[in-house]
Amino acid sequence: MTEIYLRLVDLILTPIIVVMAAVFFLRGHDNPGGGFIAGLTIAAAIALHILARGATDVRQRISRYLLPLVGVGLLTAVSAALLGLYNGGFFKGIWLKFYIGTVQIKVGTPQLFDFGVMLVVVGMTITYLLNLSEIDEDEKPADAAAEAKHR
Amino acid sequence: MSTLWISLLIIAISGPVLWLLKPQRSHWFALLAALPPALVTGWQLLQLAPAAQGQQLFVSLPWAPSLGLEISLRLDSLAIFFGLIVTGIGTCIAFYTNYYFEDDPRQGFFYLLLFSFMASMLGLVWANDLLSLFVFWEGTSITSYLLIAFKTGDKSAVEGARRALIVTTAGGLAMLAGLLLLGQAAGTFRIDELLAQPHLTALPVFPVALTLLLLGAFTKSAQWPFHFWLPGAMAAPTPASAYLHSATMVKAGIYLLARMQPGMGDSPLWFWPVLMIGTITMVLGAVSALRYTDMKAILAYTTISALGTMTMLLAFPGEEAALAVTVTILAHALYKAPLFLMAGIVDHAMGTRDLRALAGLWRGLPWVAAVALLGALSMAGVPPTWGFLAKELLLEEFYHLATHNEQIVGGLGFAAAVVMAVFSAGAIFGLVWEAFLRRRADDREPAHLHHAPSFWFVAPALLLTLIGAFTALFIGQIQTIVTAPAAVIAGAPIDVTIKLWYGWTPVLITSLAILAVGLAIAGSRRFLRNTLNRAPARLNGVYVYDAIIDAIYGFAYRLTRIVQGGPMAPQISVTLLAGVLVLAYALLQVDVSKLGMLESNELPLAPEFLIFVVAIVAAVTTVRARSRLSAIISLGVVGVAVTLFYVFYSAPDLALTQLLIEVLTVILLILVFFRVKPDTRVFEPNRRRYLRFGVAIAMGLFGAGVVLVNHFFQVGPSINPYFLANALPIGQGGNVVNVILVDIRGYDTLGEITVLALAALGGFAVLRSPKLHALRRRINRLRRRPAGDFQPAPPPLSPPSIGGPGGHLEVGND
């Protein structure tokens, strides 16, 4: 699965998809998008990367960050909800609005929560993709040796 | 912000800070670690006098005001008393830990756990809200689990940790049910308001709620028959054993009983179970202690015994019993924690804490010997220690009962207390004699001193024993510290003056006789040790526990084999049919004739028909595909067609999500199946195919039915207008779907991402398990085997891997 054209597609498309995910995330609160969708988009980008580079390669580089990513995501979401205690209760949203030029910028705890959702979705999806895809790559040598023994 | 919150925060934040600072073995770090709990101790000491006069500090923080949930804390004398033990002993433990771990790189992590525990425990004893109490309670269980399993490579440590966690959290859940029942029936979750209710014991739910509460308290405080987890917890590093499993956490159950005593103590449903279980635990623990030669095991069993004593005393209402409880708790904290620390130092210096290999340590470790001796004197109840005071008050309570028309309870209690005192004195005298005083070790190669401890390593233990041994001399000046919390337990002010010397009373004579018999028992310890060790192993709680756990796993295994043993297709059929049946039943309950019709007579547009046709063609192709890859791809086409419907019906978020899920599913399937050879699908006998065809049709019809009913009839009042109206004003967002997800229904989303995180963790554990690797290798061999038209299914999987991913991987017969 490491054909040259796939690698080329990966090289061009993966960064674009990640940027797309960022756009999805940022516009999420007012337009279609949001943390869940952004997370899935990033997962799709990484999936493309896996297809192009092979699961073993990708796993070696990122697998140790995945479960911590899930944990950090969950913590982010909970902290966003905890921040609401300053506004009268768990999960009460806090929003800051300001203008840069004429563009209104809103920043709020629900967005932080959404960010946590995104991290959890990415971590979980890629954990499964990588762990399910390893079937024969890791075990080829062991199997070959075993079969050689048989013969 | 109130000082209560600040104190809790200081303790909670110290953990991560110390962790990040990367501890070094220098005095300043020990002082730094001891500083936060010392500060909180000092503050609590200042609150002691006002609290004794009845001033209480209240704070509360709204959690979810719409549900009436809050975190509230209250600082009264009882809370201060337990809080002082938590932070006071905690100060010494934090100091000691720095020397105990030396250059261990995981020391910082230990500090993190230790301070997380301390914060939970402090919250537990300060909580004024039943649910906050429960949250802190479980916090201590979890940190205890992590601390016991600190040496992750040690199998017995991990097993002991799991056992402790299962027992204490099972009890904790029972307690939660009890707290909820009680709170609902009484109409308040505030502890002070609850206990102030005059008819608490007359509530109809009281017997059930009380039983559940007692379960929680007994499991946490290692009462018989749940006591077996505590010796297993001794695999924890010694600072954790000394702190959690002797001085503080195991006293959480005692704290709960003490807290509830004024409201519930006059019920016979309270009196008998608490008295019986406490007495059994007290005697059993003290006698069992003689069986062991491991210092920590001896200390663990005498701790069980002491916890039994406290429980038993809490059965009685009244000021004498309450006073005996508080003095026992304080005395126990002051002698048992340093004795544990002593065991840790000996272990550190000698490389073993087995009494058979130790002898004459007083020469090499004089300060440690001083700690052991003073601790033992207090534990055995030699005057003028706190231990002596505790024993006097305990015996006095029963002597008083026996001579004031409660002959049976008083007499039996007195006898049990004497047995306990004799055996724990014997156990601790034996320990001190064997380890420190005698000349030669038993049978083995004696251990040698290879690592003399620095004075500062011993200092915290020495400080605690000195306090425990001598401050009771000034009991007249400092008695508020025990009388004020006793007044809270008794529910009435106490105007007793405690004295060390009441003259030659029968109780004092008994007390002295106990010491003499204790020495005799220490002398005949080998004979007793051998005799007691002949008891059948089946009587041991661990065996019973293991049998129960094995039975649960066995049942789960058999059940899994029935419901998830075979290939995927029947499982999915059963799941789908079950869903259809339940929802179809619900649908039938809806009386359609009474529902209002909705106006919608538009006909579908031409493009929609087109997508419809594409979806059907793709679905048929999926079923008829000859190779897996083409089946996967045409399934993807079905998904995309559905996505297009969402686009037409203006649900862009849904469409995006669906599209991404389709993409990821196809990639996942490709990654899994791409190299499966041969890439042809095996067609099955017709009968089975018709069956699945039937299931698919039923599911399809049902789905269509639900949609049609929803489309034409107003089933219930719609919630849509609420969301549409409130998304912008409440949620500050134009995208209603997103606002629902992250704001209005944030709790749901939090629950969902927690499930996702657990699924990631579970999937990781299962997919990485060695059993699964063996299975994969087997399947790979089957695949490579040259086969005819029909590939046999791999043989049934045994033993099962957790969660049953086996079904997903059986590719032979799909």
pLDDT in tens, B25-49: 788 889 999 999 999 999 999 999 8
CB contact under 8 A, A47 and B667: yes
Amino acid found at B778: R
CA–CA separation, B101 and B122 (whole Å): 25
Residue B792 has pLDDT above 60, yes or no: no
Q: Which residues of chain B have a CB within 8 Å of the CB of A34?
A: 653, 735, 737-738, 741-742
Per-residue pLDDT reduced to its tens digit, B340-369: 999 999 998 888 888 888 888 888 889 999
Q: Which residues of B touch A55 (CB under 8 A)?
A: 671
Alpha-carbon distance B55 to nearest alpha carbon in chain A (angstroms): 28
Cα–Cα distance measured from residue B448 to residue B426, given in angstroms and rounded to the nearest whole number: 26
Distance CA B376, CA B461 (A): 13
Select from A41, A46, A94, A131 the residue whose CB has the most chain B CBs within 10 Å, as the one to mutate to test that interface: A131
CB < 8 Å to A31, chain B: 734-735
Query: Which of chain A's residues have a Cβ under 8 Å away from the Cβ of B61?
Result: 85
> For residue B66, is pLDDT > 50?
yes
Across B253-262, B406-415, B717-726, the highest mean pLDDT is recorded for B253-262
Within 8 A of B741 by CB-CB distance, chain A residues are: 34-36, 114, 117
Contact list, A93 vs chain B (CB under 8 Å):
730-732, 743
Q: Is B124 exposed, middle or buried (0-12, 13-18, 19+ CB in 10 A)?
A: buried
- Confidence band for B423, pLDDT divided at 50, 70 and 90: very high
- When pLDDT is cut at 50, 70 and 90, the band that residue B63 belongs to is confident
Categorize the per-residue pLDDT at B808 as very low, low, confident or very high, splitting at 50, 70 and 90. very low
Give the model's pLDDT for residue B415.
Answer: 93
- Our CA-based measurement puts residue B736 at a distance from the nearest CA of chain A, in whole angstroms, of 8
Chain center to CA of B798:
32
B757 vs A74, A88, A108: nearest CB: A74
Strand, coil or helix: what is B738? helix
Q: B210, B362, B225: which is closest to B271 by C-alpha? A: B210
pLDDT, mean over chain B: 86
User: pLDDT tens for residues B600-641?
Assistant: 666 677 888 889 899 999 999 988 888 888 888 898 899 999
User: Is A44 in contact with B767 (Cβ distance < 8 A)?
Assistant: no
Averaged pLDDT, B333-343: 94
Query: Which residues 729-788 on chain B approach chain A with CB closer than 8 angstroms?
Result: 730-735, 737-739, 741-743, 746-747, 749-750, 753-754, 756-757, 759-761, 763-764, 767-768, 773, 776-777, 780-781, 784
B735 vs A32, A116, A146: nearest CB: A32
Asked if B664 and A106 come within 8 Å (Cβ–Cβ), the reply is no
Are B753 and A73 within 8 A, CB to CB? Answer: yes
A with B: how many residue pairs have Cβ under 8 Å apart? 183
pLDDT band at B444; cut points 50, 70, 90:
low
Instruction: Determine the pLDDT at residue B441.
Output: 76
pLDDT at B146 > cutoff 70: yes
| Inter-chain touch B656–A33, beta carbons under 8 Å | yes
CB B376 within 8 A of CB B435: no
pLDDT tens track for A58-116: 888 888 899 999 999 999 999 999 888 888 788 888 888 888 877 777 888 888 999 99
| Per-residue pLDDT reduced to its tens digit, B294-314 | 999 999 999 999 999 999 999
- Identify the pLDDT of residue A135: 53
Selecting from A29, A124, A139 the residue whose C-beta is nearest the C-beta of B738 gives: A29
According to the model, what pLDDT value does residue B135 have?
94
Model pLDDT for residues B183-233, shown as the tens digit of each residue: 999 888 999 999 988 888 888 999 999 999 999 999 999 998 899 999 989
Predicted local distance difference test score (pLDDT) of residue B242: 93
Contact A51 B672 (CB under 8 A): no
Say what percent of chain A tops pLDDT 90. Answer: 37
Residue B496: pLDDT over 90: no
Residue of B654, B742, B811 to mutate, interface with A, max A Cβ within 10 Å: B742
Could you tell me if B82 and B18 are in contact, meaning their C-beta atoms sit under 8 angstroms apart?
no
**Residues paired with residue A97 on neighbouring β-strands, in sequence order:** A106
The alpha carbon of residue A24 is apart from the nearest alpha carbon of chain B, in Å, by 10
Cβ-defined contact of B777 to A142 (cutoff 8 Å): yes
Nearest to B735 among A28, A95, A124 (CB): A28
Stronger pLDDT, B796 or A87, i.e. the higher one: A87
The rounded radius of gyration (Å) of the Cα atoms in chain A is 20
The pLDDT value recorded for residue A138 is: 47
- Answer whether 0.90 is exceeded by the pTM: no
Chain B CB contacts of A127 below 8 Å:
760, 763-764
Number of C-beta neighbours around residue B321 at 10 A: 24
A151 pLDDT more than 50: no
pLDDT tens, position by position, B170-192: 999 999 999 999 999 988 899 99
Token code pair at residue B710: 């929803």
Q: What is the band of B677 on the pLDDT scale with cuts at 50, 70, 90?
A: low
pLDDT at position A93: 82
Contact assessment for residue B168 and residue B203, using Cβ atoms and an 8 Å cutoff: no
Tokens of B480: 């508020």
State what percent of residues in chain B have pLDDT above 70: 92
- Which residue in B71, B632, B661, B753 has the most chain A C-beta atoms within 10 A of its own C-beta, making it the best mutation to test that interface? B753
* pLDDT, tens digit (0-9, with 9 covering 90-100), for B234-279: 999 999 999 999 889 999 999 999 999 998 888 889 999 999 999 9
Helices H / strands E in chain A, number of each: 5, 2
Which of A136, A147, A151 should one mutate to test binding to chain B, selecting the residue with the greatest count of B CBs within 10 A? A136
Contact B671 A133 (CB under 8 A): yes
pLDDT above 60 (res B416): yes
Contact B741 A34 (CB under 8 A): yes
> Is pLDDT above 70 for A2?
no
Please give the pLDDT value at position A142. 37
Q: How far apart are CA A143 and CA B779, in angstroms?
A: 11
- Name the residue among A70, A91, A127 with its Cβ closest to that of B747: A91
* Chain B, window 65-124: residues with a beta carbon less than 8 angstroms from a chain A beta carbon: 65-66, 69
- Two tokens, residue B733: 């967002």
What mean pLDDT value characterizes chain A? 82
How many whole angstroms from its chain centre is CA B429? 34
Instruction: Kindly determine whether residue A123 and residue B763, on different chains, have CB atoms separated by under 8 Å.
Output: no
Reading phi first (left if > 0) and then psi (alpha if -120 to 50, else beta), residue B318 is in left
B674/A1 touch (CB, cutoff 8 Å), yes or no: yes
For B61, the 3-state DSSP assignment is strand
CA distance B674 to chain A (A): 9
Q: Do A81 and B64 touch (CB under 8 A)?
A: no
- Taking only the tens place, the pLDDT of each residue in B758-776 is 999 998 888 777 777 777 6
Predicted pLDDT at B129: 92
pLDDT higher than threshold 80 for residue B538: no
Q: Which residues of B touch A132 (CB under 8 A)?
A: 668, 671-672, 767
Return d(Cα A59, Cα A65) in angstroms, integer: 10
* Record: contact A47-B749, CB cut-off 8 A: no
CA proximity to B313, closest of B420, B394, B211, B259: B394
CB A23 within 8 A of CB A103: no
Q: How far is A133 from chain B (nearest CA, A)?
A: 5
Top residue of A10, A13, A56, A91 to mutate, by most chain B CBs within 10 Å, is A91
How far is A83 from chain B, CA to nearest CA, in Å? 11
Strands B69-75 and B596-597: unpaired
